């Protein structure tokens, strides 16, 4: 997959992530300082949209320049890959089924992982802001984050890992780091598991568009979910498993597993003596 020149190791990953977090956080802070806190709802919404888009678009562009200058001059993203609408349907079914069975089983346990006062206060503030400005936060969570995170984690990091490690190792590492970057226990569990599936989708199809669609749907369901309406239970778990299984079946039929073809080793012919 991709050029053999573009190989990343774990050290490269931490370099990219520290750069992404530091520059992204710095630009976000500067953006907040130079833009006044508007009093009208419309202007505040526009400010929130710009704040969620511009800093990380800039930092991703800088990372891409770094990749082309230090790793591979002709580096390009593969957005379509093996994309088709049947594949899209299959991965969205997997994502929908995953939401129901995860939040009816593992999610119940993971939500009990303590966050700490710092993260609890941040989440509480975000929840209040979401109620007041739902559209800007929906764009950030369901569109901007899936796009930027998939380009970075699958389009750059996983692609570089796949050229340097075995596929299972590369996918596991990318999912692990994807979970860790969320920096809290409940989100780590969810991000790690969905990251495994995203890694498989990218490895099998080389399609960032499919990965972005999965990520966007997962975030959208989480954003739109009303806990008063969705009550985790055995019914949700069974429905989730059924939908998930159908999606996995369709996906595996459309994209057969990649087997490593080993060269046949013939036995040496016996030496005969006359």
| pLDDT tens digits, one per residue of 126-151 | 888 888 889 999 999 999 999 999 99
Report which of residues 24 and 161 the model is more confident about: 161
Residue 193 domain-assigned (yes or no): yes
Report which of residues 258 and 262 the model is more confident about: 258
Q: Is the pLDDT of residue 3 over 50?
A: no
pLDDT (average), residues 169-192: 91
Q: What mean pLDDT is reported for the chain? A: 83
Q: Which domain holds residue 157?
A: 78-254
Residue 64 domain-assigned (yes or no): no
Q: Is the pLDDT of residue 154 over 90?
A: yes
Residue 85 domain-assigned (yes or no): yes
Residue position matching structure tokens 């770094």:
66
Residue 160 domain-assigned (yes or no): yes
Q: Is the pLDDT of residue 61 over 80?
A: yes
Apex CA 185: angle with CA 211 and CA 228, to 5°? 80
Residue 183 domain-assigned (yes or no): yes
pLDDT digits (tens, 9 = 90+) for 15-34: 888 877 787 778 777 777 76
Residue 87 domain-assigned (yes or no): yes
Residue 37 domain-assigned (yes or no): no
Predicted local confidence at residue 143, as pLDDT: 94
SS (H, E, C) the chain: CCCCCCCCCHHHHHHHHHHHHHHHHHHHHHHHHHCCCCCCHHHHHHHHHHHHHHHHHHHHHHHHHHHHHHCCCCCCCCCCCCCCHHHHHHHHHHHHHHHHHHHCCHHHHHCCCCCCHHHHHHHHHHHHHHHHCHHHHHHHHHHHHHHHHHHHHHHHHHHHHHCCCCHHHHHHHHHHHHHHCCCCHHHHHHHHHHHHHHHHHHHHHCCHHHHHHHHHHHHHHHHHCCCCCCCCCHHHHHHHHHHHHHHHHHHHHHCCCCCCCCCCCCCCCCCCCC
Residue 249 domain-assigned (yes or no): yes
pTM summary value: 0.85
Look at the chain and report how many structural domains it folds into. 1
Q: Is the pLDDT of residue 260 over 60?
A: no
Structure confidence at residue 266 as a pLDDT band (50, 70, 90): very low
Predicted local confidence at residue 174, as pLDDT: 95
Give the C-alpha separation, 121 to 236, whole Å. Answer: 30
Report which of residues 59 and 97 the model is more confident about: 97
Q: What percent of the chain has pLDDT over 90?
A: 42
C-alpha distances in Å from residue 261, one per residue of 258, 264: 9, 9
Contact 136, 54 (CB under 8 A): no
pLDDT (average), residues 61-80: 87
Q: Is the pLDDT of residue 185 over 70?
A: yes
pLDDT digits (tens, 9 = 90+) for 72-125: 888 888 889 889 999 999 999 999 999 999 988 888 887 777 777 777 787 788
pLDDT digits (tens, 9 = 90+) for 237-258: 899 999 999 999 999 999 866 5
């Amino acid at each position: 997959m991709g050029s053999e020149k573009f190989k990343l190791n774990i050290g490269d990953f931490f370099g990219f992530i520290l750069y992404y977090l530091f520059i992204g956080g710095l630009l976000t802070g500067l953006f907040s300082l130079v833009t006044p806190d508007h009093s009208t709802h419309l202007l505040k919404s526009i400010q929130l949209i710009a704040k969620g888009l511009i800093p990380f678009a800039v930092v991703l562009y800088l990372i891409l320049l770094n990749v082309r200058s230090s790793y591979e001059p002709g580096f390009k993203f593969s957005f379509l890959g093996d994309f088709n609408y049947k594949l899209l349907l299959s991965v969205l079914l997997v994502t929908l089924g995953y939401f129901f069975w995860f939040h009816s089983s593992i999610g119940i346990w993971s939500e009990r992982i303590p966050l700490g006062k710092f993260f609890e206060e941040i989440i509480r503030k975000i929840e209040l802001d979401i109620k007041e400005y739902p559209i800007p936060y929906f764009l950030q969570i369901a569109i901007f984050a899936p796009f930027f995170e998939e380009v970075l984690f699958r389009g750059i990091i996983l692609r570089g890992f796949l050229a340097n490690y075995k596929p299972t190792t590369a996918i596991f590492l990318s999912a692990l780091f994807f979970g860790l970057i969320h920096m809290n226990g409940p989100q780590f569990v969810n991000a790690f598991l969905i990251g495994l599936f995203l890694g498989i989708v990218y490895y099998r199809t080389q399609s960032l568009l499919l990965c972005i669609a999965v990520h966007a749907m997962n975030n959208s369901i989480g954003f739109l979910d009303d806990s008063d309406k969705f009550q985790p239970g055995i019914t949700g778990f069974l429905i989730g498993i059924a939908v998930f299984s159908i999606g996995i079946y369709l996906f595996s039929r459309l994209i057969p597993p990649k087997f490593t073809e080993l060269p046949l080793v013939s036995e040496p012919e016996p030496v005969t003596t006359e």
